[in-house]
Amino acid sequence: MSTGFSVVIPAYNYGHCIERAVQSVLNQSYSDFEVLVINDGSTDNTDTVMQSLSEQNSSRLSYVRQNNQGLSAVRNRGVEEAVFSWLVFLDADDEMCSGALAALDQCAQGNPQARLLIGGHLSCSQEGCDEIRPWPASDDCQKNFSEYLGKKLTISNGACAMHRTLFASVRYDRELRHTEDLPVFAHVLANYPVATTPQPIAKIHKHEDSMRHDVSAALAVGMSLESRIFDNNGLPEWAQAMRKSYRVRRLLSLVKICDRAERYGDVRRLYGQLFRESPFMAMQPRYIRRLIKSLMK
């Protein structure tokens, strides 16, 4: 089962690299696809770059402009505008690997029941690129959900494809300006079959100004992410048994993020919450060291 791919590229002030992302898709050998770039109110030269690219590639490339509404709104609009059955959300600062769409199509053809296709990716920095292969998916939705929350089964936007039928039951939460994909992936994994392919689908470029490293945005979401995942998100009843363990993992993640960002007041606050939820995890040496460091600052 495969009836083509719509590659949606959200763009906000990435005029310096948006052409690289677009061309990486246009250069695919696979034939049934479109590129849809949605400019979310950029204030740099994104519009100038995209106007030129649109004139040169009008048959495959669609370009949409809107006032700034955030990444969730852009992805939801991509769902509405897309014409093909599968959607790939590629970040504007990343790029698609050669042969990626053909690999996703082969995965879809070999797994006709799947509604989420998870590929490998290249994690790239100034030192070079490391190939990351996906954790094997199970036929058991409960296992996939658990391993996703436990960060064993990882999913990178740009390196996965989602069938458009999924969006009849879930959409991206416009109120989330960070980690907006987690509740969506959690819903999908808890309810639908998935399949994986080891082939790298995207090059994920790491850099300091990436939204992935926005500590303030991560803290603005904070522990509310738990309720976004577990409340009114169409999860089966069995999912609630994993709620507390996820709460602890989320606290651990936030403590580590704040420690790296030297936000020591937040480290102390979150450590207090962690200790109340799980004294055992809080007393692990690596977290005690972070607490002590925060107290000395």
Considering the chain, what percentage of its residues have pLDDT values greater than 90?
92
The residue extents of the domains of the chain are 5-216, 236-295
Q: Which long-range contacts (CB under 8 A, 24 or more apart) does 261-264 make?
A: 261/215, 262/297, 263/215, 263/219, 264/293, 264/294, 264/295, 264/297
* CB hemisphere CA count around 67 (13 angstroms): 0
Cβ-contact 111, 100 below 8 angstroms: no
Query: Tens digits of per-residue pLDDT, 191-206?
Result: 999 999 999 999 999 8
With 70 as the cut, is the pLDDT of residue 209 above it? no
Q: What confidence category does residue 4 fall into, taking pLDDT thresholds of 50, 70 and 90?
A: very high
Query: What percent of the chain has pLDDT above 70?
Result: 97
- C-alpha distances in angstroms, 155 versus 69, 83, 238? 24, 24, 22
The DSSP H or E segment spanning 36 is strand 33-40
What's the mean pLDDT in 151-170?
A: 96
pLDDT of residue 297: 81
In order of 96, 144, 174, 187, 276, the CA distances from 244 in angstroms are: 37, 17, 25, 17, 12
Task: Please name the CATH architecture into which domain 5-216 falls.
Answer: Alpha-Beta Complex (3.90)
Q: What's the whole-model pTM score?
A: 0.94
The mean pLDDT value for 285-294 works out to: 96
* Residue 26 in this model has a pLDDT that exceeds 70: yes
Contacts of 15 (CB under 8 A, 6+ apart): 42, 44, 45, 46, 47, 48, 49
* Averaged pLDDT, 26-40: 96
CA dist 128 and 205 (Å) reads 10
Query: Could you tell me the CA-to-CA distances from 228 to 25, 167, 180, 236, 272 in Å, in that order?
Result: 32, 16, 9, 15, 22
Q: What are phi and psi of 48, to 5 degrees?
A: -65, -45
